[in-house]
Amino acid sequence: MTVRSHVLLVDDDELTLQMLEATLEGDFQVSQVTSGAEALARCQSDPPDLVVLDVDMPEMDGYETCRQLKAGGASAEIPVIFHSARTSIEERLQGYAAGGADYLAKPFDAPELLAKINLVLAHRDRQRELSGQLDEVMNAVLSSADMVGEAGVVLEFQRELVACDSYEAVARAMISALHRYALDGCVRIRAGGEVYSGNARGPCSALENSILDHLQKQTEGQRIRPFGPHTGFSYGQVVLFVRDLRMERPAEMDRAESERMGRAIDNVALLVEGAVQRVGALEAAVATKDLADVRYLVSMTRDALTDISARNQAQRQEVKQVFDSLNAEVESSFLHLGLNQSQEDHLSSIIKQHLEAAMSALGKSQEVEKFLGRVIHKLGQHAI
C-alpha cells in the first residue's frame, strides 16, 4: 500500500481551509490548523511532509511561523509553501528569507497548487538523497577556505574556470567559490540558447527561480542591487543572488564586520565578472566550430560545383560532336537518297534546329552553375 504524503494546512479562514482540503484530500493525507502557534505544536507532535502556510494571520503571521519552524529541530526540514494575496517581489523575498520553498497566490488555482506541492516534495526527496554528499563537500570547502585568503579564492576560481567546458560547470564553480567565503546563494547562466539555474544542492527551487527571473529583467541601472539583507548581481548572461550579504549595512554593525561585507561584495563581483568572461569564451568556441563547419561545407560545395561544371562542358562537347557526325552522315547519304535540293535543305535544317535546342538546354545548366557559383562565393566571404 502506498503511503500518502502528509500536508498540513495553516489558515485562519475556515472557508479557505475547506477549499484547500477538498482540492488535496484525493492525493494527500491532509490535516489543518488555524494559527501559527497550533502549526508549531503540530509540527513537533506529528511532523507533516509539507506545510501550506497562510501569510496574513493574527498574533503570529506566516513569515514568523516559518522562521520558528526553521529555527531548529525536526521541523527545520519541513518544506513550506506560502499562501497569500500579496505576491510582490518584496513579499516573495520575505518568504525566501524566512525559509519558504515556494509562494502561491490567493485565490489559488487547483492544478497550480498540486503541481507546486509535488514539485516541492520531489525537490525535498532529492535534497535528502544528496544531503550526505553535500555534508562531505561542505566540510571540504570550509577546510579549504581556512587555507586561502579572500584573494586566493578569486585566483583559485579563475584557475578552475579554465577547465569549465559547460555553462553548468561555470555555475557550479561559482557556487563552490561562494562557499569558500561562507556564503550561500543561487545562480543562473543564460547563453548559447541554454539556461542553467542552480544552487549548492542542485536545481533552484521555484521561489529562487522567481527571484532570478526578477533579477534577469533588470536591464538598466545597477549591476549590483540590494534586496534587504541579501544582494543581487545582474551581469546580463550571468545572474547571482547571494543570501545574507548586505550592501546597506545597519549602523549598529561593527566596523570590522562592515568592512568584511564590503570586501565580500567586491570579491563576489569579481567572481561574476570572471564567469561572464568564461561564458563568452565558451560561446566564441562554439561560434568558431560552427564557422569551421561552414567553411568545410563551402569548400566541399565549391569542389562539387567545379566537378559538375567540368562534366557539363564535356557533355556539351560530346553532344555537338554527335550532331556534327549525324549531319555529315546525312549529307553524305544525299547522293543515294535521290532527294532534291529543297528536301536536302529541309532535312539539314531539322538537324540544325535539334542541335540548337540541345545546346540551349545544356546552356541553361550553365546558368544554374553561374548562380550556384555566386552563392558559394558569398558564403565563402562570410566564412572568412
Q: Which of 125, 145, 177 is the last residue of a domain?
A: 125
Q: Which three cell numbers stand for residue 265?
A: 561584495
From residue 225, how far is each of 199, 237, 264 by CA, in Å? 19, 16, 14
Residue 143 is predicted with a pLDDT of 44
Q: Which of 91, 125, 159 is the last residue of a domain?
A: 125
Provide the domain count of the chain. Answer: 3
Q: How confident is the model at residue 144 (pLDDT cuts 50, 70, 90)?
A: very low
Q: 27 with 83, same domain?
A: yes
172 or 284: which leads in pLDDT: 172
Q: 104 with 190, same domain?
A: no
Can you give the residue range of the structural domain that contains 331?
Answer: 286-383
Nearest-angstrom CA–CA distance, 168 and 160: 13
- Asked whether residue 47 is assigned to any structural domain, the reply reads yes
Residue 3 is predicted with a pLDDT of 81
Residue 286 has pLDDT above 80, yes or no: no
Residue 145 has pLDDT above 70, yes or no: no
- Asked whether residue 222 is assigned to any structural domain, the reply reads yes
Q: 256 with 245, same domain?
A: yes
Residue 115 is predicted with a pLDDT of 95
Q: Are 26 and 49 in contact (CB under 8 A)?
A: no
Q: 148 with 259, same domain?
A: yes
Instruction: Please tell me the pTM assigned to this model.
Output: 0.58
H helix intervals, the chain? 14-24, 36-45, 62-69, 89-98, 110-147, 150-163, 167-180, 206-216, 255-337, 341-383
Mean pLDDT of the region 63-79? 91
CA-closest candidate to residue 198, choices 129, 123, 131, 265? 123
Q: Are strands 184-191 and 238-243 parallel, antiparallel or unpaired?
A: antiparallel
**pLDDT 10s digits, 309-351:** 666 667 667 766 766 776 676 666 655 656 667 766 666 777 6
Residue 267 has pLDDT above 70, yes or no: yes
3-class DSSP assignment, residue 188? strand
How far out from the chain centre does Cα 112 lie? 23
Q: DSSP characters for 189-234?
A: EEETTEEEEEETTEEPPHHHHHHHHHHHT--SS-SEEEETTEEEEE
- Asked whether residue 100 is assigned to any structural domain, the reply reads yes
The type of residue at 301 is T
| Beta-carbon contacts of residue 383 (< 8 Å; ≥ 6 apart) | 291, 294, 295, 298
Nearest-angstrom CA–CA distance, 289 and 271: 27
Residue 188 is predicted with a pLDDT of 94
| Beta-carbon contacts of residue 339 (< 8 Å; ≥ 6 apart) | 347
Q: In DSSP terms, which residues pair with 20 in a beta bridge?
A: none
Q: 305 with 264, same domain?
A: no
CA-closest candidate to residue 174, choices 229, 131, 127, 233? 233
Look up the CATH number of the domain holding residue 182.
3.30.450
Q: Are 48 and 42 in contact (CB under 8 A)?
A: yes
Nearest-angstrom CA–CA distance, 313 and 347: 28
Burial class (CB in 10 A: 0-12, 13-18, 19+), 347: middle
Q: 256 with 330, same domain?
A: no
Q: Of the ranges 161-170, 266-275, 276-285, 324-333, which one carries the lowest mean pLDDT score?
A: 324-333
Nearest-angstrom CA–CA distance, 337 and 330: 10
Q: 247 with 324, same domain?
A: no
**pLDDT 10s digits, 359-369:** 666 666 666 66
- Asked whether residue 162 is assigned to any structural domain, the reply reads yes
Mean pLDDT of the region 154-182? 89
Q: Are 168 and 198 in contact (CB under 8 A)?
A: yes
Q: 300 with 311, same domain?
A: yes
- Asked whether residue 336 is assigned to any structural domain, the reply reads yes
Q: 137 with 180, same domain?
A: yes
- Asked whether residue 1 is assigned to any structural domain, the reply reads no
The type of residue at 281 is A
- Asked whether residue 229 is assigned to any structural domain, the reply reads yes
Look up the CATH number of the domain holding residue 85.
3.40.50.2300
Q: Of the ranges 202-206, 217-221, 295-299, 359-363, which one carries the lowest mean pLDDT score?
A: 295-299
Edge-to-edge strand ranges of the sheet holding 29-33: 29-33, 6-10, 50-54, 80-84, 102-105
Phi/psi of residue 70, nearest 5 degrees = -85, 0
Q: Which of 125, 158, 186 is the last residue of a domain?
A: 125
Nearest-angstrom CA–CA distance, 13 and 58: 11
- Name the strand (E) or helix (H) holding 31: strand 29-33
Q: 134 with 243, same domain?
A: yes
Residue 305 has pLDDT above 90, yes or no: no
Q: 273 with 296, same domain?
A: no
Q: 157 with 85, same domain?
A: no
Mean pLDDT of the region 46-74? 92
HSE toward the beta carbon, residue 304, CA cutoff 13 A: 8
Residue 142 has pLDDT above 80, yes or no: no
Residue 358 is predicted with a pLDDT of 66
Residue 164 has pLDDT above 80, yes or no: yes
